[in-house]
Amino acid sequence: MIDAVGTEVDAQQIGEAHKQILLMWLVAHELFHVVRHHDEVARHHGNDVMTQRALEHDADNLAIAAVYRIASGPFGNFQPIVVKKLVFASVYCAISDWHQCFPYRLTDVHPRWSSRAISIAYKLVSLREGERTNWHLDAEWLRDTRELFGLFDRLQQGLGSLDSDLSAQQLWAKHIDVIDRWEDLKADVSRLSGTLTSLRESE
């Protein structure tokens, strides 16, 4: 069969992989809240909505990076972009469904799922092997962005998800205020948790 990521795969294998990837991502997301001392950081900064959203952004990014690295083991025979699309589709579909069922949860603490999802896609684009020098906007970066944002748009349209009238680029622009808040917080997250928060080390 050809699955959502556009690769010929065994249906049973891919179905199991989607479930396992989603579970790993959920557990990793919650675990990183603890590892990064997010409660303490939020208390320190007044626990306002933007602070909480920025910390959710941090947990999302760390979780997707961890899950991608893990999935790269059993799916090591696939191209990295295929594994990224598999990981992204797994997380997107389940969380999108969940948010459709519980729309009241779209407010407050978590950024809108559509914005979280595009941010997760962007994080996946940034995960590269080897030396991180001058890769930003290079051919691989552009191709991976096009592939993952394209998959995001197809999933949005196909599932009729929230904000499916907006493009990936438009949603990414809406997430910038969360990232700006994260930039304000990340030195304190690093200090309180004893972990690294620069783009490179946080992978």
Looking at the Cβ atoms of 52 and 161, the one nearer to Zn ion is 52
- Angle (CA) 93 95 96, round 5°: 65
Q: Whole-number minimum distance, CB 104 to Zn ion, in Å?
A: 16
Site string for Zn ion, 17-56 (x = CB under 5 A): ---------------------------------------x
For residues 35 and 166, which CB has a smaller minimum distance to Zn ion in the complex? 35
Judged by CB under 5 A, the stretch of 13-21, 59-67, 76-84, 134-142 that binds Zn ion is 59-67
CB 5 within 8 Å of CB 86:
yes
Total residues contacting Zn ion by CB under 5 A comes to 2
Of the chain, the end-to-end C-alpha distance in Å amounts to: 32
Q: Closest separation between CB of residue 196 and Zn ion, Å?
A: 20
Q: What is the DSSP letter of 201?
A: T
Report the distance separating Cα 185 and Cα 17, nearest Å. 34
The distance of closest approach from Cβ of residue 30 to Zn ion in the complex, given in angstroms and rounded to an integer, is: 7
Binding residues for Zn ion, per CB under 5 A?
A: 56, 59
